[in-house]
Structure 1
Amino acid sequence: MRNRIFLTFILVVAQVTGAMAQCAMCKTTIVNNVSNGELALADGLNFGIMYLFVTPYLAIALIGGIWFYKYKRHGKKKFNTSAA
């Protein structure tokens, strides 16, 4: 059990390290472009980040809303759990 927890911890830490390296490269590119007066790349990157951030929450809200309205429309159904 301890080996599994340790392995999971190592895998999570390895993934975070890769993500931080990518963010540093993006930040360097944006800082260089903004200092040269090119704002289009920074605006596009900000829009892309917000798009990727919001999309999963909208999908979950849509699925939850559909489930809620179907459940509410059909009412609470009682299921017979006795063995036949």
Structure 2
Amino acid sequence: MKNKLVFFLFSILLFLETNAQCAMCRAVLESEESQTAAEGINDGIIYLMAIPYILVAGIAYAIYRKFNTLKK
């Protein structure tokens, strides 16, 4: 139990310092004066990351409804 708690806290603290950009994209975008391109890249990465989670959640919900509906 204690090992699970330590692992959980470590993984939460590890994600506090994450960035959405890879090192190469970050180096190119930091050299730019306005940060609009960097914000656009970050939004695109978040959008691409969210789509698979939404699809899996939709499929899981469909399976849940299929198995938990009352059969007439």
Tell me what 2:27 maps to: 28
Tell me what 1:45 maps to: 41
Structure-1 separation of matches of 2:37 and 2:29: 7
Structure 2, unpaired ranges of 5+ = 1-21
Equivalent of 1:72 in 60, 68, 72: 68
Q: Which has the higher contact order (CA 8 A, sep 6+)?
A: 2
TM-score by length of 2: 0.61
Dislocated runs of 4+, deviation >3 Å: none
Rg larger for: 1
Letter in 2 for 1:62: G
SS of 2:55's equivalent? helix
User: What fraction of aligned residue pairs are identical, expressed as a percent?
Assistant: 32
SS of 1:54's equivalent? helix
C-alpha RMSD of the superposition: 1.9
Alpha-carbon offset, residue 24 of structure 1: 2.4
TM-score by length of 1: 0.53
